[in-house]
A and B are shown apart, each in its own frame.
Chain A
Amino acid sequence: VNAIEHVGDSLAAYVLGALEDDESARVRAHLAGCAACRAEHARMAELPAMLDLIGPDGAPAAAPEHLEGAVLAGFAATRPPARRRRRVWLPGRAALVGALAGAAATVAVLAVAGVFEAAGRPCGWRARTGRARRPVPR
């Protein structure tokens, strides 16, 4: 039964030690025989240490003073500035990419329209939208 009933939705509670002993034993037994759940467990396993960095009031707990400097130095050492992009939360990111693509397309259209206009040819796009065209200096 354990081999079929995966434990993915119990793993967070498992790594946090929030499961009852029998439930915890069931998860452990399943992990021994299920590579997929083991992989998921490995991804969850770092979270408790992260959460332990937070104090009860939400502020960072007493971290060693040198920690921040060490972390920042580590970032500086391992990440070239060009790669240093702060990525946005996933659902928002898709929207952002879409918005950027839309903006880029708009800019491209305007640029093309501008080129045609500058070349003295009538710009159909602007004509259709009914916007007043600036007289082309010629």
Chain B
Amino acid sequence: VEGLKLREIAQRLGLPLGTVKSRVHYAAQGLRLALEELEVLS
């Protein structure tokens, strides 16, 4: 994790801030769901 702000990610990728925010959100949700399914997280 590089510790970039959403704004910095958006600049690097040339994407709207809202797009980056929602992608981070869905990625985190997906990761958490996967880890729960694997019973790594409860």
Are B5 and A51 within 8 A (Cβ)?
no
Are A51 and B39 within 8 A (Cβ)?
no
User: DSSP majority for the B interface?
Assistant: helix
Q: Flag B1-42 by CB within 8 Å of A: 1 or 0 each.
A: 111111101000000000001101101110111110111110
Q: Flag A87-114 by CB within 8 Å of B: 1 or 0 each.
A: 1111001000000000000000000000
Are A47 and B4 within 8 A (Cβ)?
no
- The CA-CA distance from A44 to B36 in the complex, in Å, is 12
Are B7 and A20 within 8 A (Cβ)?
yes
Are A18 and B6 within 8 A (Cβ)?
yes
Q: Contact partner of A18 among B5, B34, B38, CB < 8 A?
A: B5
